[in-house]
């Protein structure tokens, strides 16, 4: 049997990238060349000929295409179809948490989760890394290096393997064991480092200088944002070209929050959505909350958080190069930054699983804990729709053993079971 080809992966389509632009200064950089950070040391953003996109593409055409990340080709940076790599980046479902919502007074359909754990390698990192590595392939890169708290490294390893690239990954020595083994299983060289993710990032920079690897660290190249942007594009279509009232997003490096906010701006420019945008909530852990501190102090840049610690490893990022882009999106949307305790996020993980059957990762649990707090404070009101992002499958994290044993050779007290 011959399977039908996915037209999104094999059909040549027009591309509309015009240039790259420093997110801080607006300085223009030439497209179709390999770039890291801007001259100001800040992230570069991809810019498009949006009138051209609007003339070439319609919502109806998007709806008719196979339902994966690559159906948004005209709003993505890869020009040559031959450079697209894919492991099947499907649309991810939006799931209701009605039982949990009811306990906080929310009505049916008011508390929702976009479950990114259904993506390849089990997390939303697949979106950013499939785009970054496709573009690295297009621009002639043969070896990539990056720091990771786990899931990004796993996605990078998988896509680098498919692209035939060398991958070198550095992770904190307390990174979840399944992530470390997953990275190695997919062919990357992975090194445990006695430090945090920004300490790993320093080693990446040194290694890139010494060995000529390309630095694929969060926001230090332009294209992971473009992959994460598809969360916002996809979400708008799933909501009928409207958007939820509030989005709670687990925020470490913040690529996804920045990417979604960029997606909403592009959709507005196309006339595909209206003026009303969600309030964006950057969710962090109390043990590592640089964005929350900067937001509360009215600052545009976030100082490094010392002694960062949380069981939600994916948001244990002491300092982010795109801090100002995160804080800009939060403020422009009339949103907020919130910190939750490890105890609250762990309880949220348990409650979502036992009440609604959805196994969240710890970072996803943080968004539920933040929603509960915002709802209790009256910041999220009756009738408002809130969307949480579960960034990875909960199956990738250690789970407590709550099973009991039975001896089939002994009498069983069925009243106790």
Where do the domains of the chain lie?
94-121+223-394
CA atoms of 335 and 403, how far apart (whole Å) = 42
Tokens 């990032």 sit on residue? 201
Q: What is the pLDDT of residue 188?
A: 97
**Cα separation of 369 and 315, whole Å?**
14
Query: Residue 301 has which token pair?
Result: 């840049």
Closest CA to 288 of 302, 306, 273: 306
Q: Please, are residues 249 and 389 in contact by the beta-carbon 8 Å criterion? A: yes
Local mean pLDDT, 10-residue blocks, the chain (417 residues): 78 97 96 95 97 97 97 98 97 97 96 98 97 98 95 97 97 92 96 94 96 94 97 98 97 95 98 97 98 97 95 93 96 98 98 97 98 98 98 92 94 93
Rounded to two decimals, the pTM is 0.95
- pLDDT for 3 equals 57
Please state which of the four CATH numbers 1.10.10.10, 3.40.50.1100, 3.40.1580.10, 1.20.1260.10 is assigned to the domain occupying 94-121+223-394. Answer: 3.40.50.1100
- What length is written for the chain? 417
CB 184 within 8 A of CB 150: no
């Amino acid at each position: 049997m011959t399977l039908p080809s996915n037209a999104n992966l094999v059909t040549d389509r027009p591309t509309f990238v015009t240039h790259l632009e420093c997110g801080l200064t607006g300085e223009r950089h030439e497209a179709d060349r390999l770039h890291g950070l801007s001259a100001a040391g800040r992230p570069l953003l991809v810019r498009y000929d949006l009138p051209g996109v609007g003339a070439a593409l319609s919502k109806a055409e998007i709806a008719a295409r196979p339902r994966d990340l690559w159906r948004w080709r005209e709003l993505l940076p890869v020009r040559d179809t031959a450079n697209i790599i894919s492991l099947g980046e499907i649309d991810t479902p939006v799931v209701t948490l009605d039982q949990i919502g009811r306990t906080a007074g929310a009505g049916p359909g008011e508390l929702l989760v976009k479950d990114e754990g259904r993506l390849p390698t089990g997390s939303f990192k697949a979106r950013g890394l499939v785009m970054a590595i496709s573009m690295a392939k297009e621009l002639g890169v043969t070896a990539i290096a990056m720091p990771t708290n786990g899931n990004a490294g796993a996605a990078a390893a998988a896509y680098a393997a498919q692209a035939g690239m060398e991958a070198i990954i550095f992770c904190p020595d307390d990174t979840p064991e399944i992530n470390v083994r997953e990275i190695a299983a997919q062919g990357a060289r992975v090194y445990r480092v006695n430090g945090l993710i920004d300490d790993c990032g320093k080693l990446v920079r040194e290694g890139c200088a010494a060995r000529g690897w390309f630095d694929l660290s969060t926001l230090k190249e332009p294209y992971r944002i473009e992959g994460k942007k598809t969360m916002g594009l996809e979400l708008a279509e799933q909501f009928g070209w409207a958007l939820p009232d509030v989005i709670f997003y687990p925020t470490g490096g913040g690529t996804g929050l920045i990417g979604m906010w960029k997606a909403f701006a592009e959709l507005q420019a196309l006339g595909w959505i209206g003026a009303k945008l969600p309030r964006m909530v950057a969710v962090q852990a109390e043990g590592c909350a640089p964005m929350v501190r900067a937001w509360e102090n009215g600052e545009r840049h976030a100082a490094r958080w010392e002694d960062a610690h949380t069981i939600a490893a994916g948001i244990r990022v002491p300092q982010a190069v795109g801090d100002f882009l995160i804080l800009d999106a939060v403020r422009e949307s009339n949103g907020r930054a919130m910190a939750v305790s490890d105890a609250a996020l762990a309880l949220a993980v348990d409650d979502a699983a036992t009440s609604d059957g959805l196994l969240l990762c710890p970072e996803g649990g943080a968004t539920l804990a933040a929603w509960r707090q915002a709802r209790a404070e009256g910041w999220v009101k009756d009738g408002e729709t809130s969307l949480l992002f579960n960034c990875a499958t909960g199956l990738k994290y250690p789970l407590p053993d709550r099973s009991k044993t039975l001896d089939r050779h002994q009498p069983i007290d069925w009243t106790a079971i």
